[in-house]
Amino acid sequence: VQVSRGNYEGGWNKDSTRTTTDAVAILAETIDIGNWSPSLLTWQKLQDTLLENNLLPNPIPRTRTARGFSGLPPSQTPALDGALRGTIRCPDTDPRVEAVMSSMMAFWNEPRGTRDRAGGYLGGSGHSTYYETHQHPFLPKPLPPISLDDPLSSRIRRRYITFEPDTGGWNNLRMSLENIIVLAAVSGRTLVLPPEQTMYLLDARKGDTRRGRQYTDFFNLTKNTEFLRRVPIISSLDFLALEGKAGGAV
C-alpha cells in the first residue's frame, strides 16, 4: 500500500477524506485476502481500485525539481532554471498513476536546466554547439564515434574506475550502479564491471546454470554506442586482458 502512506509528501487528493486505514481496508476487500493468490489482483485492477476510490495522493509538482527540492532555494541554484522533475513511463499504466510513481521514484530532472542543456556536448537543433569545439568546464568530451566491431582498446579510455556492488536489495544495487556511472562520466574514466557474483534476492532464471549475476543481465550497458562514447564500460575479464601482467600484476 505504498501509494497510500499518510505521510507521503504529495498529500491526499484535496477532495478526499480517505485515511491510510481506509485505503488498507478498501484494498483488502478488493483483494479478498482470505482467498488471495498473486493471479487474482492484476495491475489493471489495482489501478482501477486506487482511482475509483480516490486513494492516490497528489503528485509532487514537476516544478519542484529533484536537486533543488530540499537544498538551496531556486534563486541560489541557477543551474535548475528551466528544469522539471523527471517522469516515469510504464506500459499499461494510467497517466495519473504514472504521475504519482514519478513523484515517488524519479530523483532526476528531465529536462535539465537551461544552462546545463546549453553547456552539454549535445549540439544539433535547439542546443548550443559551443562545447563541440571548446572544452567543457568539467565534463570530459565524448570519444569519437565508435563501432562495436572496433578493437576494444580503441573505443575506451585507458583510465579506469572499479567498484564493488552493494550487498543490499535491488534498489541498492541499482542506485550504486547509477552513482558509479556518474563518477565515471565526470572523471573521464572507463567503468570496469565487477565479476559475476551472487546478488541478493536475484535468483537465476529457469534454465540459467550460472551461479552469479551481472549488471548486464538487467541493463543494456554494452550495446548503446552513444552512451559508451561518454561512459566506456568493459567487463573485469576484458580489463585484465588489456592491463593484466605476469604474476597477476595490473
**pLDDT tens string 38-55:** 555 688 888 998 899 888
Give the contacts of 93 (CB within 8 A, at least 6 positions apart). Answer: 43, 47, 101
Q: By C-alpha distance, which of 227, 150, 237, 157 is closest to 190? A: 157
Q: What's the confidence (pLDDT) of residue 12?
A: 45
Set of cell numbers at residue 69: 527540492
Task: Output the average pLDDT for the chain.
Answer: 77
Percent of the chain with pLDDT over 70: 69
Q: Are the beta carbons of 82 and 118 closer than 8 angstroms?
A: no
User: Which pTM value belongs to this model?
Assistant: 0.54
Least confident of 12-21, 109-118, 157-166, 221-230: 12-21
CA dist., res. 192 & res. 166, Å (int): 15
> Average pLDDT in the 185-196 region?
91
Set of cell numbers at residue 182: 556518474
Residue 10 has pLDDT above 50, yes or no: no
pLDDT: which is higher, 158 or 108: 158
Give the contacts of 234 (CB within 8 A, at least 6 positions apart). Answer: 152, 156, 190, 191, 192, 193, 242
Confidence of residue 238 (pLDDT cuts 50, 70, 90): very high
Q: Are the beta carbons of 210 and 184 closer than 8 angstroms?
A: no
**Across the chain, where does the E strand assignment appear?**
160-162, 190-192, 233-234
pLDDT: which is higher, 183 or 39: 183
